[in-house]
Chain A
Amino acid sequence: MKTSRITALMLRQFYLIRGSVTRVIPLFIWQAIDIVIWGFMTKFLNEFTHTNMNFVPMVLGTVLVWEFMVRVMHGTSMAFMEDSWSRNFLNLFASPMRVSEYLSGLVLTGITTSMFGLVVMLILAMGVFGLSMLIYGVMIIPFILVIVLFSISLGIFGCAIMLRYGPSSEWFVWPIPAVIAPFVGVFYPLSTLPSWMQAVAHIFPPSYVFENMRSIIAGNGISIQSLIIAAALALIYIMLACWCFVKIYNHALKTGLIARYSAESVS
């Protein structure tokens, strides 16, 4: 892998963001709006329930981690969409760039651009609603890494879908996190769900992350076993997503889809 090719994709995204306000604002606006909505919701729950339970770390903390995950996934897919919108696939795929370099460039672009959103969310959540991420302790870090790995796998999977079905399929990609959200317990414990949904929840790494975040707040600490399961699942998802992308890329080479991408299908 050559870092020059990976940084080329990141540089491209930097140029685009620097020159376009329509690309800067979406880096943080939707995450900021969600933090504001859920911030007031948690304040309301704290006042309304009259219990000792503090909903700010219980709900706002998980919302923040979830929004970061969504942003990394969308950031990765967006970097791919830029090539689709500017009809750049032929220039890129006829170059010496390897698939691994291309995917690494997309992923690093997604993570880097997501940092803007994370900073804005942290400022709002800590400054306005009094959330302290320190309450979760250092063991939150491996769980955050699991979330990042899972979001990368979703991002790569989204790119694979768009490569296979063409530009219009981006509408399948945007809502992927929304489809997963009800199962993984961002806003509520998994025990709230019916048993079939709980079974589905256990195949998604974020379920383990949010359960453990709530467990820390409840004073029960974390489960190392669930961290290992979540990390293993996240790695499996990344491998599956990369396999899926490479498979579709090879299909595109066979059918000529890359050269005729705007046709959306050639077979």
Chain B
Amino acid sequence: MSDILSLNNVQKIYGSNTAVESISFSVKKGEIVGLLGPNGAGKTTTINMVLGVLKPTSGVIYINGIDIAKQRSAALEQTNFAAVYAPLPGNLTVTQNLKVFGKIYCVKNLKIRIEELLAEYDLVKFRDTRCGVLSSGEQTRVSLAKAALNNPKLLLLDEPTASLDPSTAKDIREKIRGFAAHGESGVLWTSHNMYEVQEVCDRVLFMSKGKILLEGNPKTLPAEHGKTTLEELFITVAREPLKLEEK
């Protein structure tokens, strides 16, 4: 499997505060990688650097082999993202938003692609509804449809199921698993729902205070560190990161 995303010694420093401390990891084709950690661990800072909206202080980020610092536009053509804190403009309808972003991502056969996504994300009945009046779960589905518009090689999802009911969240997880299973794309996923992470992710990275403390299979990692569940391991990372660092 070749790397879709590769971070080499990426660091972000704000003044005297180190938000991300020289991290390196990769996401391979067909792989879903969970980026986990307590609030303020550096997950969103890392995602923002991968999205090209935050410049690393040092280090290199490659998306599908393209250095984002040197060929920003070409690198970002390979990606798309959905995040709870980045809803689509509420004053445009679902179809209008998908058309505008489809043109921004230069999607071919856009009309057909939009119809496919409206059906896939159960948005047909909301096609002419302004996004601002949709429920948070419906808005999340629109964001996910936008994220899938260009069939990205790298899909970045920051808590994508945070506002979804369990049934819709399950459907979305299956869609994203299916998306990665085609083998051409990789997914970087953040979530605080450890059950979901265990179900969806092939590999997880635990971050705390800007560092990657642990990495491994979410199904076996807790036992490797003397914990019974991923949630228990998460709590240890959040409360006692030094203990894990010493190991």
Contact = CB atoms under 8 A, between A and B. Distances in A.
B141 to A, nearest CB: 16
A8 interface: yes
B67 to A, nearest CB: 15
B242 interface: no
A8 B81 contact: no
A223 interface: no
B91 A16 contact: yes
Interface string B26-70: 000000000000000000110010011111000000000000000
Given A94-B53, A259-B53, A15 B96 contact: yes
Contact of A4 (B53, B76, B106): B106
Contact of B104 (A15, A16, A95, A267): A95
B53 A93 contact: yes
A19 B53 CA distance: 31
A5 B103 contact: yes
Interface residues of A, number: 34
Contact of B76 (A96, A254, A259): A96
Say which size band chain B's interface belongs to: 35 or more
Contact of B106 (A2, A20, A93): A2
B101 A15 contact: no
Contacts of B45: 256
B103 A8 contact: yes
A258 interface: yes
Nearest to B44: A259
A46 interface: no
Max chain A CB contacts within 10 Å: which of B45, B91, B104, B106?
B104
Interface string A250-261: 100111101100
Interface stretch (B82-90, B174-182, B231-239): B82-90
Nearest to B77: A96
Contacts of B76: 94-96
Nearest to B106: A4
Given A94-B81, A97-B73, A5 B104 contact: yes
A19 to B, nearest CB: 8
A86 B77 contact: no
A253 B54 CA distance: 5
Contact of B91 (A9, A86, A93, A254): A86
A16 B89 CA distance: 11
A15 B92 contact: yes
Given A11-B103, A96-B76, 10 more contacts: A8-B104, A12-B96, A87-B87, A91-B88, A94-B76, A94-B79, A95-B104, A96-B72, A256-B53, A258-B53
Interface of A: 2, 4-5, 7-9, 11-12, 15-16, 19-20, 82, 86-88, 90-98, 250, 253-256, 258-259, 266-267
Ranked 9 nearest A-B pairs via Cβ: A8-B103, A86-B89, A94-B51, A96-B76, A90-B86, A96-B77, A253-B55, A96-B73, A258-B53
22 contacts: A4-B104, A5-B106, A7-B103, A9-B100, A11-B100, A11-B103, A12-B89, A86-B91, A88-B89, A91-B88, A93-B53, A94-B52, A96-B73, A96-B74, A96-B76, A97-B73, A253-B55, A254-B55, A256-B53, A258-B53, A266-B14, A267-B14
